[in-house]
Amino acid sequence: MTAALPPQPLIAANHLCVKLGGVEVLHDISMSVHPGEIVTILGPNGSGKSTLLKALLGLVPAEHGAVSHAEGLRIGYVPQKLMIDRTMPLTARRFLSLPNRCSRAEGEAALARVGVAEVADRPMSGLSGGQFQRVLLARALLSRPQLLIMDEPTQGLDQPGEAAFYRLIEEVRTQTGAAVLMVSHDLHVVMSASDRVICLNGHICCEGTPRVVSSAPEYRALFGVGTQGALALYQHVHDHDHDHDHGHGHDHAHPHHHPASAHSHAKDHPHAG
């Protein structure tokens, strides 16, 4: 009987609206993450990316709409800002036990999984940016999450570091089966490492599957050509009405990394929303 049921999302937002300080920061967000998926949220500063993650985690309340998740869902969360004093003499091993104690073996296995076994006894303050982010990931993995939620996990990494980190995330997904919902500003690397991308600007501008293509003029124009010669493109669906004023500014000329194909797609296909 269960085989006949459609796959249930791990987590979903249903017409979610969030107000912070009396201002509507998220408007009518409906999205979901299914088992094993890698979903990336892109959007300019202040577009509500972190707020959406927090709302999904139940850390900020919904004004309207709702968040639902699979029963007993285990989530590993890497916040955008971590309130740890990097000057504290705290080893990576100790850090992994905060706030939930893990055994020595568990900690070492987690560090090994993310490729930084050698940093166990080094102070967090002495780690490189890439090592630091890997330790954060290791800690998030300790709860054996079915869903990893990461807010800008590649902050502070250079481009090769970012690319390596996204490869690691894919590896972790393959090994553990965990789904991943992350926020990124790194359009190029994200495009190849995500199953689905959601472009957020207070509301969902567009979402879809990234596809590697050899020629995409609009994409080239906006984002340039990747160093590997690999180009990526959104195949997205427009499901909202641009004529209706939500107060979020629906101007597609806004200067953030809006997927180029959104424009051509919108021209080619009048959207249904």
Ligand X SMILES: Nc1ncnc2c1ncn2[C@@H]1O[C@H](COP(=O)(O)OP(=O)(O)OP(=O)(O)O)[C@@H](O)[C@H]1O
Min separation Cβ 210 and ligand X, Å: 20
Min separation Cβ 51 and Mg ion, Å: 8
Instruction: Return d(Cα 110, Cα 86) in angstroms, integer.
Output: 21
Indicate whether 261 belongs to the interface with Mg ion (CB under 5 A): no
- Taking CB within 5 to 8 Å according to partner kind, which of Mg ion, ligand X, none is near residue 25? ligand X
Which residue number, 114 or 162, has a Cβ lying nearer to ligand X?
162
Min separation Cβ 43 and ligand X, Å: 5
Residues binding ligand X: what is the number (CB under 6 A)? 12
Indicate whether 201 belongs to the interface with Mg ion (CB under 5 A): no
Indicate whether 50 belongs to the interface with ligand X (CB under 6 A): yes
Which residue number, 75 or 96, has a Cβ lying nearer to ligand X?
75
Min separation Cβ 246 and ligand X, Å: 15
- Taking CB within 5 to 8 Å according to partner kind, which of ligand X, Mg ion, none is near residue 20? ligand X
- Residue choice 20, 212, 221, 225 for contact with ligand X (CB under 6 A): 20
Q: Are 35 and 26 in contact (CB under 8 A)?
A: no
Q: Where does this chain touch ligand X (CB under 6 A) — which range of 41-49, 97-105, 123-131, 140-148?
A: 41-49
- Residue choice 17, 37, 43, 236 for contact with ligand X (CB under 6 A): 43
- Taking CB within 5 to 8 Å according to partner kind, which of Mg ion, ligand X, none is near residue 46? ligand X
Indicate whether 83 belongs to the interface with ligand X (CB under 6 A): no
Name which of residues 68 to 87 contact Mg ion (CB under 5 A). 80
- Structure token digits, residue 60: 């900020």
Listing DSSP states for the chain in one string gives -GGGSPPPPSEEEEEEEEEETTEEEEEEEEEEE-TT-EEEEE--TTSSHHHHHHHHHTSS--SEEEEEE-TT--EEEE-SS----TTS--BHHHHHTSSS---HHHHHHHHHHTT-GGGTTSBGGGS-HHHHHHHHHHHHHTT--SEEEEESTTTT--HHHHHHHHHHHHHHHHHH--EEEEE-S-HHHHHHH-SEEEEESSSEEEEEEEEEES--HHHHHHH---TTS-EEEEEEE--S-TTS--SS---TT-SS---HHHHHHHHHS----
- Residue choice 32, 50, 146, 184 for contact with Mg ion (CB under 5 A): 50
- Structure token digits, residue 81: 């800002």
The residues that touch Mg ion, with contacts defined as CB under 5 A, are: 49-50, 80
The residues that touch ligand X, with contacts defined as CB under 6 A, are: 20-21, 25, 43, 45-51, 80
